[in-house]
């Protein structure tokens, strides 16, 4: 195995946590919709045999939650969670804001929120070449 091809553990970890957070946020939004439709938190908890306080902690992010529990909550509000595997090389480049030396522009009052279409580059098309974790740009 070529060690150069290995995705760093911390990048994988950040991507996994980002994925998990996304699922939790989607669940949060779905529960919000379900509540707007008249379902109460007590009813949701009862449907999956969960303590209402525990459900409240999960939905407010005060408690860690497994994928399985999120699945169960989704079922309790009448949703079926689905998963999709997206091939990175087929992604279309997103609109990228033009942010160059933003702090100086902002301080001088010349900052704008202009955006342009980023040209796809080979380096942005593979997970192995993804930006390192939480890169800091001076």
Partner 1 sequence: MRFKPPMDADEAEKRTLFVTKRIGSFIHGTHTKRATADYYSRIRAALGEFVKGEPLYDDEAVLKKLVPHSHNIWEFRITFQPQARIVGAVAKTDVFVAIEPEFRDMLEKKGFDEIIGKSLAWWQEWLDPKPRDPCHPLTFCFCNVKD
Would you tell me which residues interact with partner 1 (CB under 8 A)?
10-11, 13-18, 20-22, 24-25, 28, 32, 60-65, 88, 91-97, 99, 102-103, 106-107, 111, 113, 118, 120, 124-125, 127, 130-138
CB 105 to partner 1: min, Å: 11
CA angle centred on 42, ends 39 and 48, rounded to 5°: 95
Phi, psi of 117 (to 5 degrees): -85, 125
Q: Of 16 and 51, which CB lies nearer to partner 1 in the complex structure?
A: 16
CB 99 to partner 1: min, Å: 6
CB 53 to partner 1: min, Å: 15
CA distance 97 to 95: 7
CA distance 98 to 103: 13
Q: Of 53 and 93, which CB lies nearer to partner 1 in the complex structure?
A: 93
Q: Give the count of beta carbons closer than 10 Å to the beta carbon of residue 28.
A: 16
């Amino acid at each position: 195995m070529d060690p150069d091809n290995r995705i760093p553990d911390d990048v994988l970890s950040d991507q996994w946590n980002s994925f998990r957070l996304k699922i939790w946020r989607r669940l949060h939004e779905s529960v919000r919709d379900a509540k707007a439709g008249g379902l109460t938190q007590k009813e949701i908890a009862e449907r999956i045999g969960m303590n209402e306080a525990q459900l409240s902690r999960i939905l407010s992010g005060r408690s860690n939650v497994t994928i399985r529990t999120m699945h169960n909550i989704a079922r309790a509000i009448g949703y079926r969670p689905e998963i999709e595997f997206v091939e990175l090389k087929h992604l279309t480049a997103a609109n990228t804001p033009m942010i160059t030396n933003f702090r100086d522009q902002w301080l001088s009052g010349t900052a704008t929120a202009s955006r342009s279409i980023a040209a796809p580059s080979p380096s942005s098309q593979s997970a192995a070449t993804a930006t390192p974790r939480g890169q800091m740009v001076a």
